[in-house]
Amino acid sequence: MSKWRKWKRVLQKMKTKKTLITQAKAVAQNICMSAHKARRVVDQIRGRPYEETLMLLELMPYRASYPILKLVYSAAANASHNKSFNEADSVISKAEVNGGTIRKRLKPRARGQSYPIKRSTCHITIVVRDRSKKKPDKISI
């Protein structure tokens, strides 16, 4: 391996360590809900402060809001416990929903027949950033 490649790897590790210092995340996988329905809720909370997000999610009439509310709580708890952030200064910096696997079931019908049911799932990731801490400076060579 050339010296440049080794140096490039070292720089990448340093960058990821600095971003990890200012962020905490929580991931929920295989939530029994379509990704489209979860995205409707996640689009409304992206970029908002933590406390405002909690108020919004508690009052939203969607079924997707409860698992996302639990995930936001979990991300804030991770931030306060692992990174010692103040929850009042936290912001939802990144929130994404990806499609998961599709579970296939058979619905029984009369006379021994059945038809397939496809239940979609999704993976939700919430990243919390602290507003009070400065963003990491870029590393120059």
Q: How many domains does the chain have?
A: 1
Q: Is 17 left (phi over 0), alpha (psi -120 to 50) or beta?
A: alpha
CATH value at residue 82? 3.90.470.10
Q: Is 29 helix (H, G, I), strand (E, B) or coil?
A: strand
pLDDT at 139: 55
Residue 138: the pLDDT is 55
Is 137 part of a structural domain of the chain? no
Distances 88 to 42, 73, 97, 115 between C-alpha atoms, Å: 20, 12, 25, 50
Tens of pLDDT, residues 28-48: 999 999 999 999 999 999 999
What are the tokens at 40? 């409707």
Instruction: Give the domain range for residue 89.
Output: 24-130
Residue 126: its H or E element: strand 114-130
Q: pTM value? A: 0.78
Q: What is the pLDDT of residue 80?
A: 92
Residues in the chain: 141
With respect to residue 64, please indicate whether it lies within any of the assigned structural domains.
Answer: yes
- pLDDT at residue number 132: 80
Work out the percent of the chain whose per-residue pLDDT is above 70: 84
- Tell me whether residue 29 is in a domain: yes
Residue 3 belongs to a domain = no
Which H or E run contains 28?
strand 23-31
Helical (H) or strand (E) element with 102: strand 90-108
- Give 80's contacts (C-beta < 8 A, 6+ positions apart): 86, 87
| 114 or 135, greater pLDDT | 114
Tell me, what's the pLDDT at 98? 96
Name the band, by pLDDT with cuts 50, 70 and 90, for residue 137. Answer: low
Is residue 138 one of the residues assigned to a domain? no
- Secondary structure (3-state) at 46: coil
